[in-house]
Structure 1
């Protein structure tokens, strides 16, 4: 135990004994740590610099400037080398500074190497493990290095932080004055007038079980079971996302409802052949060729997006929740139809077994497997490859589930991402 660690640990033990106990159990010896020098110096952990190696103080000042100057309470995710904490504590209006540990082993190592008492002993500071709280807190600054280094325990909070940070960028295409969107909405306005309101489906299956079927690789494990259940007289309602429609039909599994929201969905994904008897719930960005060819009944819905503001005023229709993926309105539709139990199939948000989607070739529906640089924990607690937007979609679904305790949510597979708030289905998983 270094002299620095003993002094730092005494402060933490006095103020946050439970945190101190956990830090003492961290295995910082497993980390590859190096001193990196430039105009100044910093610590590199597993090849990731914790801070600037040239001017840590100036970097911390830039980071602090991104937070509101008049906020009495702020949150820092990641402990770094303490520079940002010290910078924020210089503000006279700060009443509380919450510091959230994203990697316990990294912080334990820093405590061995550097004196951190100046901010740890400040009465305005509160120290937590980030994932001890289920949700992120605002306003925050997340140290970029520790978003990369976040450990398994704090991975869910890391994903929420990254999703929040990227929100404005991800929404940049979905603005009301986007000419392509305006043109698509205009192309579909007559179809919207003619088709039914999705609200007509609400409360039509109150208290019943519903299957919501997505296109994750684990869906392939359930084709046989779904085909058998589909043939039964008394069975759950089958709602699928648009990209799952073709793989299901190829397996002889005809869904009751298909949900589609994306302007990139084409007849390749939703072929009109044999679509009679399957309802299509859509948002008006869907390709008009797909809509005009669909043989089953069509229902219109909007999201809360400003994209639909004018159309919503002209032609009021029901609203479905959207969080970046078609899985969100599909689940919301099931809940608004009255489902007491929603079972998710193919909701993997990851690439288990080194595959991207069920029923599609690598790259057909987005980036190829080789482009994946991120991970989530699967239902076995193991890391599985994913892509960044999938983690954001997962975050939004977990938030949705947490807000609806009256509905039971089941996950049919452990192969994909662990979905907080769901129960592994005893028959399917």
Structure 2
């Protein structure tokens, strides 16, 4: 081991002996790093620079300036140690939590650079990010290690990405946008004529509920779902809008349909055979599609600022939202009284190299070939996905954690592993 590693290791072993044992076991030789020169220098791993190659300290000060003057701060990723060192210059900082995102990379840096300046500071707490179920705020996540996070810390990485992208993703839902204001005006007539979704709450206490999404794994369940649907005593079927057409094509009539997206059209929600099927919707839905639906309709809001004025003028119950229609569908199941909820087609990934069940590649979004990200599936293997799907998964996992009274089950191992769920033995061997 290098002289630097011995000096760094002495500090870590004394302060965090359990973490030190894990670091020693990391395979730092697997990290292909090279020195990159500029006005200064840095390390590059897989073509990704850990820091600026011109002025590492200036970059760290810019990063630090984005964090508030709080007594407790969190840094995700260790980099070359520059950001922790700069933050520790703050006299008002009482505790700095440094979360390792790539253990092997950190072990390599410990061999190459003296990190004792920040490791020895009594205000520092060092830990693996993946040892915690969720993220802490306020935080700064080092951009390079958001890309280089290892498998153990990947789940926390996903939640960091989701948090960092939140304001950017919400820009399309500014309540002041003319298109949004016009859509809400157009939908008001329908909303006022329909019932409040609250009328459905508590109507299925103790009944098992199936919440059906449109992930590729749904295709393996059509036959079984059709059989269950024909039973006298059976679970309630709640499906999302894009699952409605594939279900009907396989002879499966859902008990409830949930729609939220302003882009959903008759192509997704054909109305011709919708008699007797209730539709739960948000006012951003197409008023043309809503008016054509022949079943009973129930209006709902979410906590989004988009509905702030409507909530005051025309109160309706709220459903949980997080970017995907699966979120209000699951929340509806819980608020109706479900305590055992099985998820179908909730894949948040592209298993079998497909994007959705019953739709062609690219019909409902980017095609599989554009997937650049991954999650772990129910077998523990990597499966391709896209960034927004990972965000939707994070939101659902947080929701599940808030409802320990409900048993959430997954019907497939093919999609993303959903923290907080178990596999339903009726559908998963």
Structure 2 length-normalised TM:
0.99
For residue 66 of structure 1, what is the aligned residue in structure 2? 66
- Rounded Cα–Cα distance in structure 1 between residues aligned with 2:329 and 2:390: 18
1:87 Cα shift? 0.5
- What secondary structure sits across from 2:312 in the alignment? helix
For residue 44 of structure 2, what is the aligned residue in structure 1? 44
- Rounded Cα–Cα distance in structure 2 between residues aligned with 1:162 and 1:90: 27
- Rounded Cα–Cα distance in structure 1 between residues aligned with 2:396 and 2:275: 30
For residue 4 of structure 1, what is the aligned residue in structure 2? 4
Spell out the pairing of 1:40-189 with structure 2 (5 A cutoff): 40-68=40-68, 70-189=69-188
- Rounded Cα–Cα distance in structure 1 between residues aligned with 2:218 and 2:285: 24
What are the Cα deviations for residues 196-254 of structure 1, in whole angstroms up to 9, with x where unaligned? Answer: 11011000000111000000000001111101000111000000000000011111111
For residue 382 of structure 2, what is the aligned residue in structure 1? 383
Indicate whether 1:14 and 2:17 are aligned: no
- What secondary structure sits across from 2:173 in the alignment? coil
1:194 Cα shift? 0.6
- What secondary structure sits across from 2:117 in the alignment? helix
- Rounded Cα–Cα distance in structure 1 between residues aligned with 2:153 and 2:410: 22
For residue 419 of structure 1, what is the aligned residue in structure 2? 418
What are the Cα deviations for residues 89-114 of structure 1, in whole angstroms up to 9, with x where unaligned? Answer: 01111110000000000001101111
- What secondary structure sits across from 1:318 in the alignment? coil
- Rounded Cα–Cα distance in structure 2 between residues aligned with 1:60 and 1:314: 48
What are the Cα deviations for residues 54-94 of structure 1, in whole angstroms up to 9, with x where unaligned? Answer: 110111011001001x2111000000000001100011111
For residue 261 of structure 2, what is the aligned residue in structure 1? 262
- Rounded Cα–Cα distance in structure 1 between residues aligned with 2:251 and 2:30: 51
- What secondary structure sits across from 1:349 in the alignment? coil
For residue 228 of structure 2, what is the aligned residue in structure 1? 229
1:320 Cα shift? 0.3
- Rounded Cα–Cα distance in structure 1 between residues aligned with 2:393 and 2:4: 40
Structure 2: gaps spanning 5 or more residues: none
- Rounded Cα–Cα distance in structure 1 between residues aligned with 2:44 and 2:310: 53
For residue 247 of structure 1, what is the aligned residue in structure 2? 246
- What secondary structure sits across from 1:176 in the alignment? coil
1:46 Cα shift? 2.0
1:259 Cα shift? 0.3
For residue 27 of structure 1, what is the aligned residue in structure 2? 27
- Rounded Cα–Cα distance in structure 2 between residues aligned with 1:388 and 1:257: 29
1:357 Cα shift? 0.5
- Rounded Cα–Cα distance in structure 1 between residues aligned with 2:426 and 2:150: 32
- What secondary structure sits across from 1:225 in the alignment? helix
Deviates most, 139-148 or 175-184: 175-184
For residue 210 of structure 2, what is the aligned residue in structure 1? 211
What are the Cα deviations for residues 163-212 of structure 1, in whole angstroms up to 9, with x where unaligned? Answer: 11011111111121111111111111111111011011000000111000
- What secondary structure sits across from 1:397 in the alignment? helix
For residue 360 of structure 1, what is the aligned residue in structure 2? 359
Q: Deviation above 4 Å: which 4+ runs of structure 1?
A: none
- What secondary structure sits across from 1:312 in the alignment? helix
Give the CA RMSD over aligned residues. Answer: 0.7
- Rounded Cα–Cα distance in structure 2 between residues aligned with 1:2 and 1:310: 63
- What secondary structure sits across from 2:327 in the alignment? helix
- What secondary structure sits across from 1:153 in the alignment? helix
For residue 284 of structure 2, what is the aligned residue in structure 1? 285
What are the Cα deviations for residues 110-151 of structure 1, in whole angstroms up to 9, with x where unaligned? Answer: 011111111101000000100111111111000000000001
1:24 Cα shift? 0.6
- What secondary structure sits across from 2:405 in the alignment? coil
- What secondary structure sits across from 1:296 in the alignment? coil
- Rounded Cα–Cα distance in structure 2 between residues aligned with 1:36 and 1:424: 47
1:368 Cα shift? 1.0
1:310 Cα shift? 1.4
- What secondary structure sits across from 1:405 in the alignment? coil
Matched positions, count: 428
